[in-house]
Amino acid sequence: MKQEKIILTGDRPTGKLHIGHYVGSLRRRVELQNSGIYDKIFVFEADGQALTDNIDNPEKVRQNVIEVALDYLACGIDPAKSTIFIQSQIPELCELTFYFMDLVTVSRLQRNPTVKTEIQMRNFETSIPVGFFTYPISQAADITAFKATTVPVGEDQEPMLEQAREIVRRFNFIYGDTLVEPNILLPDNAACLRLPGTDGKAKMSKSLGNCIYLSDSADEVEKKIRTMYTDPNHLKVSDPGQVEGNTVFTYLDAFSRPEHFERYLPDYANLEELKTHYRRGGLGDVKVKKCLAAVMQEELEPIRNRRKEFEQDIPAVYDMLKKGCEVARAAAAETLSEVRKAMKIDYFEDQALIDEQAARFGSH
Ligand code: TRP
């Protein structure tokens, strides 16, 4: 049988999605969805994974499940083309995680660089919840239960994908070819790998208050751009400015296309020309920010409007999620029945086993 091309990707519902999520993955997902080259697409909310470091705050996860679903729909993830589902509603994922636990060592998990940084960030050093520590295993189950071939995620997820691939190789070596090795699909534009916060800090994060959300109003976006971090040494318009590490230019790298310049800054053919002028001196931040605002509003406006529309019928959004969970569960159940067979724990489906044991014990 020809190998199907299957996409799976997801997010932890711990907050509304911001433009870092958008340029880093959502925009690409929609393109991939609409490319027509994939046989199946699964997009899911990793609420179980979100709980691994929010176990005392279930309300946060519960509230954000609907926010993230709205963000997905707003960006153009289309339930007619992609199955949108919620991790906790697929018990097969827990079962698969349970089996995978035996294929991974503690020291292997301790070497995972993403988990290492996360442990530091959360001050978990002295008391790491086991579920948090082992979430890369559960993530491998998320991916392999759907036989995903392609996982579009940010570069911080690379160690998770490597872990998943190792598990698949080990599983298939021991139990025979059953699971599919997934490939990571990274963002194609360097500026999109990790969009900095509006304050110039490396990461956009809710706690730093440096995010632009997909659900922000036009006014909020305008204001956040107006106060955005630029080159702190670019004091007078005539001063030469630095483009590297200048958030406004990083955002232009991520959002602007040549045709935007015709519309919003016709004196420049493209972003390169604008950068050259800025470096030389004589170009003020306000002008660059105005251009960025125009470019970003053009892209965010339709998203904002679609979100508003979906907000008008929230029960329909829950209904869509429920249907997605049913479709996803059927797919995972199919893989799990193959897994149980390969692992020789499919006792009741295996008449040959029953006959063989009957003969061994001389029963009839
Ligand atoms: N760890 C991912 C994140 O924090 C979310 C996630 C969970 C995921 N399971 C996944 C992503 C499987 C891709 C595939 O964003």
Summarize pLDDT for 166-203 with one digit per residue, the tens: 999 999 999 999 999 999 998 887 777 778 999 999 88
pLDDT of 193 reads 73
Q: Which percentage of the chain shows pLDDT scores above 90? A: 87
**Does the CB atom of residue 9 touch ligand 1 within 6 A?**
yes
Mean pLDDT of 32-44: 97
Q: How many angstroms separate the alpha carbon of residue 327 from the centre of ligand 1? A: 19
- How many whole angstroms separate alpha carbon 281 and alpha carbon 240? 4
Mean pLDDT of 341-359: 95
Mean pLDDT of 151-180: 96
pLDDT of 118 reads 86
pLDDT in tens, 205-231: 888 899 999 999 999 999 999 999 999
pLDDT of 127 reads 87
Q: Is residue 87 within 8 Å of residue 10, measured between CB atoms?
A: yes
pLDDT of 155 reads 83
Mean pLDDT of 244-273: 94
Ligand 1 test: best mutation among 9, 18, 135, 186, most atoms within 8 Å of CB? 9
- How many whole angstroms separate alpha carbon 84 and alpha carbon 310? 15
pLDDT of 175 reads 98
83-86 β-sheet, strand order? 83-86, 40-45, 6-11, 150-152, 183-185
pLDDT of 1 reads 64
pLDDT in tens, 278-319: 999 999 999 999 999 999 999 999 999 999 999 999 999 999
pLDDT of 154 reads 84
pLDDT of 4 reads 95
**Does the CB atom of residue 46 touch ligand 1 within 6 A?**
yes
124 pLDDT above the threshold of 90 = no
pLDDT classification of 120: cutoffs 50, 70, 90: confident
C-alpha distances in Å from residue 250, one per residue of 247, 254, 280, 337: 5, 6, 18, 47
Ligand 1 test: best mutation among 157, 167, 183, most atoms within 8 Å of CB? 157
Residue 139, SS3? helix
pLDDT of 301 reads 97
Q: How many angstroms separate the alpha carbon of residue 224 from the centre of ligand 1? A: 28
Higher pLDDT, 297 or 156: 297
pLDDT classification of 360: cutoffs 50, 70, 90: very high
Ligand 1 test: best mutation among 45, 160, 194, most atoms within 8 Å of CB? 160
- How many whole angstroms separate alpha carbon 230 and alpha carbon 127? 39
pLDDT classification of 69: cutoffs 50, 70, 90: very high
Given the CA of residue 46, which atom of ligand 1 is nearest to it?
Answer: 7
Q: Would you state the structure tokens that stand for residue 123, as one six-digit string?
A: 């001050």
